[in-house]
Amino acid sequence: MFYHDDSRQLEPLHDLHTMKAVLLFPGQGAQKVGMGKDLYDSYPAAKAMMDAADAALGYSLTDVMFNGPDAELTRTCNCQPALYLHGLALWEILRREVEIEPVAAAGLSLGEFTAHAAAGTFSMEDGLKIVQKRGAFMEEACQAAPSTMAAMIGGNDEAVQKLAAECDIDVANYNCPGQTVVSGSVEGVDKAVAGAKAAGFKLAKKLNVAGAYHSRFMKSAQEKLLPELTAATMQMPACRVYCNYEARPVTGTDDIRAMLGAQVCGSVRWAASMQDLVAKGYTLFIEMGPGKTLAGMMGRISKEATVISIEDVPTLQAAIETLKAM
């Protein structure tokens, strides 16, 4: 089964008519006020999951998701569990409506946790509690020292690595060809932005973020998260789940814990993960979460891949029709 909840186990389907797809889940930044509200109102399965999430956390995450305000939803301790829950609710409905066999799952940064929950590594509730703590730990790390991030457009991986080293900052994300993100001290990121044109980049733009995610500035968050991962009940996922840190499928529960811990400070190797999946012959991808960020990245990574993006009831219903027609 793919959503690990003993009361609602579904056996994987292996008949010839089952759609094989890779599940994708976005990361922090994709959140928006109102997310999940129409799913909650339209699908009992989504309502049940979201109510269970509120009960597990001991406060109403759904109220923040549905009503905001934006400043509250954007807080790391809220947007991370919100995106996790939203992605899982979409998957819960989709898998009931269409016979899909996930051949792999991947998520950008925080989305890696959603991918694991969708693949049955841990329960929705257990994963949710870890994700909420991860967000809180990262928020604390942001408050401890001023830091920031910048998107680097154009240029290649070698150029961004060289520039980051010269500015004493880290490469946070390798999103797709021509789009990387650097992360670190305000002074270091400002220096990188100033030197971007000379280093061969078309554009460099500072991001509106609370701090330097996926950098050495997250060390305290990583140290707090590791015991939570160690204590969590996990099992091998029902399909391949890719880790951001090494752009490969995880190999066991100890590996899962290590990779989820490492990616807090390490680079997100999204482009390499997607390239590996396409090289293995997978061409159908389903993105579940607000916006179409991952579909946009895939357009720059591979022309062979088809990405269906789902974020609300209209896009969900359209996806169901598209998948049933395939």
- Residues annotated as catalytic are 109, 214
Q: Rounded distance, CA 271 to CA 278, Å?
A: 11
For the record, the structure tokens of 118 come out as 């969708």
What angle is formed at CA 144 by the lines to CA 142 and CA 146, rounded to 5 degrees? Answer: 65
CA distances to 76, 290, 295 from 67, rounded to whole Å, are 17, 15, 27
Q: Rounded distance, CA 268 to CA 159, Å?
A: 17
Q: Rounded distance, CA 255 to CA 245, Å?
A: 11
SS3 251: coil
Burial, 201: exposed, middle or buried (Cβ in 10 Å; 0-12, 13-18, 19+)? buried
- CA dihedral defined by 270, 271, 273, 276, rounded to 10 degrees? 180
